[in-house]
Structure 1
Amino acid sequence: MNDRELLKYWNDIPIGAKNAVSYEELSVKWHRTYRGVRKILELLSAADTGDNYILIRSSHGRGFFRTKDRRLIHRYRKEVINRANNVLKPLDKIYKVQARIAGGDVPNKQMTLNDTFMC
């Protein structure tokens, strides 16, 4: 997806929590499946569009919206960090088992929970 297409999608995301949109609304607007919308939102979450807005993709069912409210951004950052840490929790056990299998050598160890940012 090129930058112009990405910017078009970015501008379709409303500003402010009270204007949040759902997957269903974006699916209709963008003529995409749920999976297609999710992929676009993933790209938008990481894209630096040159403005000071953050795409909020809350797991609390509020939908999707852009904000530059410091308090909301801080809260969302904590939510994202907690999600990341939960996803990475199995790595410690994986590395221990790999080390036992490999006789003490941990192959391709890249990240542990201690390497992640804590809230």
Structure 2
Amino acid sequence: MSLIPYKLVRKILFMFDPETAHGLSLRGLNFLYQLKLINLLFGKNKTKPINIMGINFPNRVGLAAGLDKDGEYFQAISQCGFGFVEIGTVTPLAQTGNDKPRLFRLVEAEAIINRMGFNNKG
């Protein structure tokens, strides 16, 4: 069970535009990882391992590309209980992505529209 109240963190993050909140979330997660406190957010993974096409995964739930565009937070994210983590999108050359604003909250639908445009360091 998390000791950090979800509703409080959500309220704080919603004070910022979605792209800033995204960055703050990653930096906060990394901070907790460096302090070895990541288990405050994520308990012990209790799901069963799975084998798909000869590849063993710790569980069925993976993280798709887009959260950590440049692989800067992989160590922290890998402690969150995912069966696999996809980094990127990384392109051969750095690119800035689409003009801002490019990330939009649909609060009622509890969804996000992502028009980032593959911004990354290459």
The higher radius of gyration belongs to 1
TM-score where L is the length of structure 2:
0.30
TM-score where L is the length of structure 1:
0.31
